[in-house]
Amino acid sequence: MSQTMMIAGHAKLPRGMAARDVYETLTVTAEIDPHFGVIIEASCTLATDHAQNFINDLLKGYSLREGLDAILDVINNGYHGKAKDALMAACKDMYYYYTELNKEKSFAE
């Protein structure tokens, strides 16, 4: 079994964003510890390295196992730009995949 796993979530970007010139959707990825659900590293398809690093710093250390509220709160309080709703939607999508993976694991055990 892999030491970590990667989960991605996607959301549509709003009009007028630089990242939308390159991508139609915003992707948030998280490398997580599969046992505890803790985000080890995170990335996103925002246009600047600075924004990408900021999102990594915001999300790192949160556990998906404990739900999504703390992650949505930290984005809502920490990120103030056009992509806020897309970031939150992409994290919700990522969390959905995480919960689906855990359902599959519990059936396999």
Both tokens of 46, joined, read 């925002």
Both tokens of 26, joined, read 């915003």
pLDDT number for residue 107: 46
pLDDT number for residue 69: 97
CATH topology (fold) of 5-108? Enolase-like; domain 1 (3.30.390)
pLDDT number for residue 22: 59
3-state secondary structure of 103: helix
Residue 63 CA to residue 61 CA, distance in Å, equals 6
pLDDT number for residue 53: 97
pTM of the model: 0.86
pLDDT number for residue 21: 55
Residues of the chain with pLDDT under 70: 1-2, 16-23, 106-109
55-62 long-range contacts (CB < 8 A, ≥24 apart) are: 55/28, 55/79, 55/87, 59/28, 59/30, 59/91, 62/38
